[in-house]
Amino acid sequence: MEPENEFLQLENEIINVLKQIYDPEIPVNIYDLGLIYELDADEEDNVKIKMTLTAPNCPMADDILRDVRDQVEAIPSAFLHPCQENLP
């Protein structure tokens, strides 16, 4: 499979996973809520996610970031070592 197609497939899998993670204070998933700014993966399928939170001092920040990391790294079709999330 071409690298671009592999990235698109991986990107779709990541988006599907992110749509299963909800901000505990808002009944909307973090992807549809617009908290994900950018997804990127290198040739070795190391994934970087640029995201934000709903508030600067979000009390659930650690839980949300842990959920993102755990869920994305669990995608079986990729080697996600490590999954990094960047908060602006």
How do residues 15-64 score in pLDDT, each as one tens digit?
999 999 998 888 899 999 999 998 887 777 778 888 888 888 888 888 99
Residue 56: is the preceding peptide bond cis (ω within 30°)?
no
Looking at the predicted structure, is the pLDDT value of residue 84 above 70?
A: no
What is the count of structural domains for the chain? 1
The domain in which residue 35 lies consists of 3-86
pLDDT of residue 40: 83
DSSP class of 22: B
Lowest mean pLDDT of 5-9, 57-61, 65-69, name the range.
5-9
**CATH number of the domain that residue 38 is part of:** 3.30.300.130
- Kindly report the backbone phi and psi dihedral angles of residue 41, in degrees, each rounded to the nearest multiple of 5, phi listed first: -140, 140
State the pTM of this model: 0.80
Q: Residue 85 — pLDDT band, cuts 50, 70, 90?
A: low
